[in-house]
Amino acid sequence: MSDGRSGSGYGGESLLFLTDEQLRQGIEAMFFAYQGFTADPDRILGEMAYGRAHHRAMHFINRAPGTTVNNLLSILGVTKQSLNRVLRALVEDGLVDSRVGTLDKRERNLYLTDRGRDLEQRLSDAQRIRMRAAYKQAGPEAVQGFKKVLEAMMDADMRRAYADLREAPQ
Amino acid sequence: MSDGRSGSGYGGESLLFLTDEQLRQGIEAMFFAYQGFTADPDRILGEMAYGRAHHRAMHFINRAPGTTVNNLLSILGVTKQSLNRVLRALVEDGLVDSRVGTLDKRERNLYLTDRGRDLEQRLSDAQRIRMRAAYKQAGPEAVQGFKKVLEAMMDADMRRAYADLREAPQ
DNA sequence: AGTTTATGTCAGCATTGTTGACATTCCAAG
DNA sequence: CTTGGAATGTCAACAATGCTGACATAAACT
C-alpha cells in the first residue's frame, strides 16, 4: 500500500502511474477546495441563526418541491432525527411549508415559502459566483474532467441521486 | 443573477457559456463527492473515539512533522480552541507528541508517535484507494481538469497553503 | 522594568451529527 | 374487520466539533 506507486493500463494508449504523492495532492486539493466551496454561504448563514445543514435542506427542497422527509434524508445522508431538527426550525420561521401527504398521510411534502426561496436564492447565488469564477479560471476542458472525477468519487447511491437530479431539472 | 446564463470569451478560441443549470450540477457534484471522499476514514474513525477533526490534524502533522499549533490551525481553518481539544485527546492517547519549542518556548512542535503514524496510515490508505479508483475511472485527462478547478475554487490563503505543501514533499 | 503582542490552554455555548423511544398511518394476514 | 407489523415522522438526550471569552506564559518592544 505504501510502495508509492500504483498503475495499470488505461485506454490502450496511455498509462496511469499514480504515485502516493499524486493521490495525496488530490486529497489535499479536495479538502482545501471544499473549504472555499462552503465559505460564502457559511458567511451569510453566520449572520442569522442558521447553519450549513439548513442551506442543504433548502437547496434540495428547492430542487424538488414536494419532496418528502424520507427522500430528503437519503439525499443528504443524515438521520431523520438530525434533519428533523433543521426542518422544524425552518417551518417555525416560515421558510419551509410542510404539508401532510394527500396519498399517504404519514408523509410530509415539503415546499419553500416565498421567503424561503429568497434566502435560498441568496445562498445559491454566492455559491454560483464562486463556481463560475473557478470554471472560467480553469477553462472549459477542465470542467469536464472535474465532473468526471467527482462523479467517480461518489458512493453508488449518491451517484444515483445525482443522476436523478440531473434528469429532472426544474 | 438568475438570468440562467453567463459567459465570456475564453482563450480566444472557445466561449464559456455557463448556465445556472451547469453551475448547479457542479455544486451538487461537489456535495455528493465530498460525502464519498470522507466516507471511508469516517467509517474507521467511527469504531474508535475519534472524528474527522482528529484525522485532519494527524494528516497535516504527518505531512509537516514539527509543525506548530499556530501553523496547523491556519491550514485547517479552525480556531485554536477547537484544534486544542482535538490535540489534547491525541496527546493523551499517545498518538501525537507535543514538545515545547526550543527557539520559542511559547510554541509547541507536533510529531506523530509510532502509533499515531500507524493510524494515520490506515486512514490515508482508505482515502487513497478511493481516490485512485476515481482517477482510473475518470481517466488521465480528467485528473488535470479536476485539480485545476479545485485549485481555482480555493480561497487565496488556502491556495498558498496547498502550494507550500506541494513544494515541500516529505 | 513595564507594556504590548503572540502562543497556547481552559471553560462554556451552538450547531449538527448520533441512538432510543414513541405516535401515527398504512398494509397485509388471518 | 381486526390485528400485528412495517413505514414515516417527532421528541429527547448525548457526542463531536465548530465558536467566543478569559487567562497564563513567553517574547518583543519602548
pLDDT of residue B18: 86
- B110 CA to D26 C1' in angstroms comes to 18
Instruction: Answer whether residue A84 is part of any domain.
Output: yes
Question: Which residues span the domain enclosing B66?
Answer: 7-138
Q: Look-up: residue for cell 520559542?
A: B104
CB contact under 8 A, B26 and A141: no
For residues A136 and B8, give the distance between their C-alpha atoms in angstroms, rounded to a whole number.
9
Asked, for residue B153, whether it belongs to a domain, the answer is no
Contact B69, B83 (CB under 8 A): yes
Residues (32-71, chain B) with CB within 7 Å of strand D atoms: 49-54, 56
CATH code, domain with B30: 1.10.10.10
Task: Write out pLDDT tens, residues B22-48.
Answer: 999 999 999 999 999 999 999 999 888
For residues B118 and A23, what is the distance between their CA atoms, to the nearest angstrom? 19
Residue A158 lies in a domain: no
On the question of pLDDT at B145 being above 90, the answer is yes
Query: Å from A13 (CA) to C16 (C1')?
Result: 48
With vertex at residue A50, the alpha carbon angle to CA B69 and CA A45, rounded to the nearest 5 degrees, is: 70
Q: How many domains, in total, are found in chain A?
A: 1
pLDDT tens profile A66-104: 999 999 999 999 999 999 999 999 999 999 999 999 999
Tell me, yes or no, whether A160 lies in a domain: no
481553518: which residue's cell? B77
Report how far residue B139's alpha carbon sits from residue A14's, in angstroms, rounded to the nearest whole number: 10
B19 found inside a domain: yes
A127 vs B27, B130, B152: nearest CB: B27
B62 in a structural domain: yes
Contacts with A96 (C-beta within 8 Å, 6 or more apart), sequence order: A57, A58, A61, A87, A90, A110, A111, A112, A113, A116
The single-letter DSSP state of residue A104 is -
Whether CB of B79 is under 7 Å from strand D: the answer is yes
Query: Does residue B32 fall inside a structural domain?
Result: yes
Which nucleotide lies closest to A56 by the C1' atom and the CA atom? C16
* Tally of CA atoms within 13 A in the half-sphere of B2 that contains its CB: 8
Does residue B51 lie within any of the structural domains? yes
Instruction: Spell out the residues 6+ positions from residue A17 whose beta carbon is closer than 8 angstroms to its own.
Output: A5, A6, A7
Of A136 and A13, the one with more pLDDT = A136
